[in-house]
Amino acid sequence: MSATTTSFYRVGKDISDSVADTSLPVEEIWADRKFKAKLVNPSNRRKLTVIIVGTGLAGGAAAASLGEAGYNVENFCYQDSPRRAHSIAAQGGINAAKNYRNDNDSVHRLFYDTVKGGDYRSRETNVHRLAEVSANIIDQCVAQGVPFARDYGGLLDTRSFGGVQVQRTFYARGQTGQQLLIGAYQALERQVEAGTVNMHTRHEMLELIVVGGRARGIVTRDMVSGAIKSWIGDAVVLATGGYGNVFFLSTNAMGCNNTANMRAHRKGAYFGNPCYTQIHPTCIPVHGDTQSKLTLMSESLRNDGRIWVPKDPADATKDPRQIPEEDRDYYLERIYPSFGNLVPRDIASRQAKYRCDEGLGVGPAVAEIDPDGTERQVRRGVYLDFTDAIARMGKAAVASKYGNLFDMYAQITGENPYETPMRIYPAVHYTMGGLWVDYDLSSNIPGLYVVGEANFSDHGANRLGASALMQGLGDGYFVLPNTINDYLADALSFPKVDASSPEVVEAEQGVQQRISDLLAVQGTRTVDSFHKELGSIMWEYCGMERTQAGLIEAIGKIRALRQQFWSDVKVTGVNEDFNQTLERAGRVVDFFDLGELMCIDALHRRESCGGHFRAESQTPDGEALRDDENFLYVGAWEFGGDGQTPILHKEPLIYKAIELKQRSYK
């Protein structure tokens, strides 16, 4: 290992999950844990308060379930209603090992597919439990009235998804996420009415309160009045989603942010595998500098669409229908003859990037800054062509299969995809990394639990399609409500904390100080201009392909940009008001720190695995090359202090039920 690399971090002690009893066969561990976890008497539950941040599938399900159990729940979201959390945008479906198709599916197969799909970088025990509870999720959602697709016999329909060979994906047209979230939201509102859950909308968590080593509360800002307030509880649950917006452009909602996680990280919570991000290949390309976010289209399009670029860069602006067959490069079919356009997400994404880097991209040219600082115009798009499919199946059949996606494309681009090929480009979609948790979903700070995309736990280095919804609901409905009791059972004897406790006062003052610092700069540049610049650094150096030199370069650039931000940012208005500029400024501050940590994690992991592709670690034919000898572990990062290097703790991954294998798609 070179000195330049190690100067960015220190290595601390190895860690491990001490909760799951791994001496048992993997299929017996969850039942064993549920039996051994301490319980809380129903009459004591009403004396205990759980703070839950986030109302998506994980947070909403957890808040509803803990409310039903009889705990007092204080639930927070930054949106105007809990129903708007970004889980709502998931399109494809939710996996469950129901085996309704009689196609050899089982809990063990879902477990196996998820571990393999994660490129052997997830924890076996957690993934097996996820597969175990998957079937319960479908039962629960159906009972709530979630309108899953049904066949004419009135039973649930399923489809195949994400490169697995069984049909285990339940779906609700192209809006499964919305329907599942509305189910959780309705259960949640029922508890609001019952008085077990207090809902705080338009509230943003800005600090974690730790007293005597335990998470005891949070500090929030009321986004309407600007009021800073502390909330004290017996446990804190973060269900705050992923951090794709560190790239500025992503398929995340505009408000998605990582402030809650970074605040907890700064208070001692380890951050697991921050460099693992998923880039989705079939998104609508960027139209220009004012682009605010990216829109994903279901990757099912690759089942019938053919992906190509012109062989001659001069053809980039030509009407694609006028480009003859011999002048087109169907590059996925050429490079991967057996999988063709159906190669996994990471490969399809990377190959599209290579074509555009080579100057073969199509669509509008967008300004980019080269590593040497020069600006160039690059076309970031490849064609996804349905001409052959329409000729083979007929326009009506294509419309019935993909009509809603074609309509969405037409509305956004103004082009008719039935007549001219669609343009697509990869976009940041999901982050597998997140706060480190043990088998109980507890972080290393006692009393701080992390659920859903916000934790690192189940997807390893790559998430399979239709597994995010499964994990969010699994954590919220079935895992957390069965593990958090073990902690809360002792909570009645915890020392009393109130608004005058020094740790609470200090946390509040820290929040107020940060806000006044932001408002005091009064520079010349907008918050968004900094966020966009950070995003382009991340995308260029910590995106689809990463190199040692590039990552070191990126860390330097981020540090310089952070410094410039604190001397030149312009935040308008005051704190005591509805102030969206101030909200965004605070989030960008935390994205700087996160971006740097992601680059350091990517730098230290000198292997390619899942969504993390290091150019130095590839097979002779250009595929990702894992290094199990040196990197078969979770990288859990401890905050080392401002201006100090972070500390790496390794959690070795032990595979007992599944044999390690190298992926191959040739």
Partner 1 sequence: MSENLMSLTLRIWRQPNAATAGKISEYKLAGVSSDMSFLEMLDMLNEELTVKGEEPVAFDYDCREGICGMCGIVINGVPHGRGNSAVATTTCQLHMRNFKDGDVITIEPWRATPFPIIKDLVVDRRAFDKIIASGGYISVNTGAAPEAHANAVSKLKADRAFDAATCVGCGACVAACPNHSGMLFVAAKITHLAMLPQGQPERPLRIKTMIGTHDELGFAGCQNAGECAAVCPKEIPLDTIAQLNRDLIASLFNRAGKSTAAE
Quote the CA–CA distance of 420 and 320 in Å, as a whole number: 7
Say if residues 26 and 125 touch (Cβ distance below 8 Å).
yes
Pick 402 or 477: Cβ nearer partner 1: 477
Residues 87-126 that bind partner 1 (CB under 8 A): 88-89, 98, 100
Q: How far is the CB of 141 from partner 1 (least distance, A)?
A: 8
Say if residues 382 and 390 touch (Cβ distance below 8 Å).
no
Q: Binding residues for partner 1, how many (CB under 8 A)?
A: 82
* Active-site annotation holder among 109, 216, 328, 345: 345
Residues 205-234 that bind partner 1 (CB under 8 A): 224
Residue 124 CA to chain centroid, in angstroms?
A: 20
Say if residues 98 and 168 touch (Cβ distance below 8 Å).
yes
| 173 lies in the site for partner 1, by CB under 8 A | yes
Pick 118 or 281: Cβ nearer partner 1: 281
Binding window for partner 1 (CB under 8 A); candidates: 32-40, 524-532, 558-566, 593-601: 524-532
Pick 411 or 644: Cβ nearer partner 1: 411
Residue of 47, 229, 267, 293 that binds partner 1 (CB under 8 A): 293
Quote the CA–CA distance of 573 and 580 in Å, as a whole number: 9
Quote the CA–CA distance of 321 and 272 in Å, as a whole number: 47
Residues 45-64 that bind partner 1 (CB under 8 A): 61, 64
Residues 361-400 that bind partner 1 (CB under 8 A): 364
User: For 97, which DSSP code?
Assistant: -
User: For 246, which DSSP code?
Assistant: G
Quote the CA–CA distance of 355 and 223 in Å, as a whole number: 44
| 76 lies in the site for partner 1, by CB under 8 A | no
Q: How far is the CB of 571 from partner 1 (least distance, A)?
A: 9
* Phi, psi angles (nearest 5°) of residue 238: -100, 125
Binding window for partner 1 (CB under 8 A); candidates: 74-82, 258-266, 267-275, 495-503: 74-82
Provide the H-helix boundaries in 52-197.
57-69, 107-117, 124-144, 176-194
User: For 302, which DSSP code?
Assistant: G
Binding window for partner 1 (CB under 8 A); candidates: 24-32, 379-387, 477-485, 550-558: 477-485
Q: How far is the CB of 611 from partner 1 (least distance, A)?
A: 22
Positive or negative, the CA dihedral 409, 411, 417, 420 is: negative
Say if residues 352 and 424 touch (Cβ distance below 8 Å).
yes
Quote the CA–CA distance of 31 and 23 in Å, as a whole number: 14
R_g over Cα of the chain: 24
Binding window for partner 1 (CB under 8 A); candidates: 14-22, 176-184, 346-354, 622-630: 176-184
Q: How far is the CB of 108 from partner 1 (least distance, A)?
A: 20
Strands 49-53 and 72-76: parallel
| 21 lies in the site for partner 1, by CB under 8 A | no
Say if residues 376 and 370 touch (Cβ distance below 8 Å).
yes
Q: How far is the CB of 551 from partner 1 (least distance, A)?
A: 30
Residue of 40, 182, 435, 597 that binds partner 1 (CB under 8 A): 182
Binding window for partner 1 (CB under 8 A); candidates: 32-40, 134-142, 158-166, 621-629: 134-142
Active site residue 525: no
Dihedral-angle region of residue 213 (phi above 0 means left; psi in -120 to 50 means alpha; beta otherwise): left
Residue of 13, 152, 621, 644 that binds partner 1 (CB under 8 A): 152
Q: How far is the CB of 383 from partner 1 (least distance, A)?
A: 16
Pick 165 or 580: Cβ nearer partner 1: 580
| 430 lies in the site for partner 1, by CB under 8 A | no
Query: What is the set of active-site residues?
Result: 345
